[in-house]
Homo-oligomer: A and B are copies of this chain.
Amino acid sequence: MTNLQLNKEGKLKHFLSIEGLSKESLTEILDTAESFSSMSEQRVKKVPLLRGKTIVILFFENSTRTRTTFELAATRLSADVLTMNISTSATSKGESLLDTIRNLEAMHVDMFVVRHAISGAGHFIAQNAAPHISVINAGDGQHAHPTQAMLDMFTIRQYKHDFKELKVAIIGDILHSRVARSQIQALNTLGTKEVRVIAPKTLLPAHVESLGVKAFNSIEEGLAGVDVIIMLRLQKERMTSALLPTEREYFKCFGLTEKRLKLAKSNAIVMHPGPINRGVEIESCIADGPQSVILQQVGNGIAVRMAIMSLTLQSNIEAL
């Protein structure tokens, strides 16, 4: 898995999961994103870095927000964007995933940004794609969502500067969350002092400590003294599957309220990948309050994706 993401010179060629990437690789992404971040304030929010490149947004699972940030990131790098919603395309004519990939490759595209309901779909495509193509995982099953994790790391660094003194709590459905999995790996790789996960037992993986976290079933205990609070979105489907009681009950036990927020450090930041379920996992007044950096995360998402797209494609160009 490790080597697949790097080219012979050890440069990022694909971006599929945080697993297997070094602290230096992650830091290079964060540093590059910083240069793009200031660009958003400029009159002309474009650089010609990827002019003449074709980026295919290959979404087998719909997600307006993630798709939009990738499209904007690609456009601001001056790339040409081809968005394919695969449920409505050739695969319905009975074409296999591999045939779809082969055909797009033959059209001389340069990058696939893949979102798929099956864990490992991005790896599969990267293993099978032509050498000149970069693959970015925009979420695969319950496995990983590494660009989300990186924009979260970028946001934490923006507010807290150094990971090595930080206590970070992730709250919600850890068991099913690809976001949480990628966040935990990134936080540990970047040397975070303490990573906590807070969830009911039914929503924690078995042996969760082996991921390098401290587990809490009480939100009050878990929040005590943390610098960063990361809420996860509650997938309402879980309700029906008997893993969770009602929304109200969930909020009562694990929702982030003003009272609970006071248990964290007074300058703690509150994060959420969005879209928010107001009043389910988080109180509205916190989402809109002074400690919330949720909208900052959205903007950072574009800078971080610009960084990942340009780094992977440039290492590919240099290798040629």
Contacts and interface: CB of A to CB of B under 8 A. Distances in A.
Given A43-B317, A108-B40, A317-B43, A90 B51 contact: no
Nearest to A276: B99
Interface size class of A (residues with CB under 8 A): 35 or more
B68 A82 contact: yes
A45 B40 contact: no
B52 A107 contact: no
B99 A275 contact: yes
Contact of A90 (B71, B275, B296, B297): B275
A108 B54 contact: no
Contacts of A44: 51-52
Given A82-B71, A302-B108, A95 B276 contact: yes
Nearest to A274: B103
B84 A302 contact: no
21 contacts: A40-B108, A41-B108, A45-B53, A54-B72, A64-B84, A65-B90, A68-B82, A68-B84, A68-B104, A68-B107, A72-B107, A75-B80, A76-B80, A94-B275, A94-B277, A95-B275, A95-B276, A96-B278, A103-B298, A106-B299, A107-B298
Given A64-B88, A64-B90, 10 more contacts: A44-B51, A46-B52, A52-B76, A54-B72, A65-B103, A71-B82, A75-B80, A106-B299, A107-B301, A107-B302
